[in-house]
A = this chain, B = another copy of it.
């Protein structure tokens, strides 16, 4: 029920996903079942979605009468709307009735509800939101995208570990190269938290390649080589991502004024739109919770569902639990250059 175009975009996205997924996968649509069923019927009469009628048997509905609005405060939404699609959907997973949860609803509420219902992995103090950041080379795992605005150095290290497992399991990167977003390559460049995190990351058992700068992000590489994971706090992460979101249209506007064809340009830049790449997983919770953009299209929802399935199939959650647990018990100061697993 969440998202600017719900439930149409969500239900349509589920149909598109089932069409592409292994037949063993099924989807439970959680919310006001009468509305969902009607939406599904209407969609299947639409020539665009009629071909997906065969997927109907793999869709079921779960009743959740409350709806969390985009403007609701996370805390009050969770306490005041226990029968919302958000909470009912996450509880399915906690109860072993589902393997992952995908939503385009209120991000703050999804984060809080995921923490309450799924709990955090040992060794994680705050969950982080991952964004897959398109670059001139391979996409990079960028976190935190806005879940944590005031981070300590320890939390940046946790993000680095979460992002490393994500890069391995979800993007198939071996021994992922982790960079710390700062304002200069040298370890002594940065704010107080970044400088401390740099020191901690050197002995965190990760493939830490040092500080990276804003200019390295579009390149997907620093002077130390290609990057797989870039870590920063959620304040910087959110500012950079929202800036990124707006800069493509701005540049296209400038180029269109110079007489270049707008449609060609929009097509060429389409894969810059990270929201189309599917949802942003909330990493650190004990389970799978995929956060989709409020303005998600059916295609974006489909991609978010596929992200969830990849997370299930790769046992990412289990790997995160193991990696963070080891980190939590490893004596401080023990250096390791290889993978800790």
Binding site for B on A (CB under 8 A): 135-136, 146, 149-150, 181-183, 190-192, 194, 213-219, 232-236, 238-251, 253-255, 257-261, 264-265, 267-269, 272
Is A251 touching B254 in the complex (CB atoms < 8 A)? no
| Residue in B150, B190, B194, B254 whose CB lies within 8 Å of A272 | B254
By secondary structure, the A interface counts as helix
Is B246 touching A269 in the complex (CB atoms < 8 A)? no
A239 and B255 in contact (CB under 8 A), knowing A191-B149, A250-B219, A260-B260?
A: no
* Residues on the B chain within 8 Å of A215, using CB: 242-243, 245-246
| Residue in B150, B232, B269 whose CB lies within 8 Å of A254 | B269
A258 and B264 in contact (CB under 8 A), knowing A238-B214, A240-B240?
A: yes
Q: Which residue of B lies closest to A149 (CB)?
A: B191
* Residues on the B chain within 8 Å of A213, using CB: 238-239, 242
A217 and B191 in contact (CB under 8 A), knowing A240-B239, A267-B258?
A: no
In the bound assembly, the distance between CA atoms of A286 and B61 in angstroms comes to 69
19 A-B pairs (CB sep. < 8 Å): A136-B254, A146-B183, A182-B235, A183-B242, A213-B238, A213-B242, A214-B238, A214-B240, A214-B241, A214-B244, A218-B246, A232-B239, A236-B236, A240-B240, A240-B243, A247-B247, A255-B268, A258-B267, A260-B265
* Residues on the B chain within 8 Å of A233, using CB: 191
A190 and B235 in contact (CB under 8 A), knowing A213-B242, A251-B269?
A: yes
State how many copies of this chain the complex holds: 2
Is B268 touching A254 in the complex (CB atoms < 8 A)? yes
Is B260 touching A264 in the complex (CB atoms < 8 A)? yes
In the bound assembly, the distance between CA atoms of A268 and B216 in angstroms comes to 23
Chain B nearest Cβ from A163, distance in angstroms: 17
* Residues on the B chain within 8 Å of A194, using CB: 235
Residue with the highest number of chain B CB atoms closer than 10 Å, among A232, A239, A249, A257 = A239
Is A268 touching B272 in the complex (CB atoms < 8 A)? no
Is A243 touching B218 in the complex (CB atoms < 8 A)? yes
In the bound assembly, the distance between CA atoms of A194 and B251 in angstroms comes to 29
A250 and B136 in contact (CB under 8 A), knowing A191-B150, A239-B240?
A: yes
Chain B nearest Cβ from A212, distance in angstroms: 10
Chain B nearest Cβ from A115, distance in angstroms: 19
* Residues on the B chain within 8 Å of A219, using CB: 246, 250
Chain B nearest Cβ from A241, distance in angstroms: 7
Chain B nearest Cβ from A104, distance in angstroms: 18
* Residues on the B chain within 8 Å of A258, using CB: 264-265, 267-268
A218 and B250 in contact (CB under 8 A), knowing A183-B146, A183-B238, A265-B255?
A: yes
Chain B nearest Cβ from A246, distance in angstroms: 4
In the bound assembly, the distance between CA atoms of A250 and B220 in angstroms comes to 10
Is A217 touching B243 in the complex (CB atoms < 8 A)? yes
In the bound assembly, the distance between CA atoms of A289 and B259 in angstroms comes to 40
Chain B nearest Cβ from A277, distance in angstroms: 15
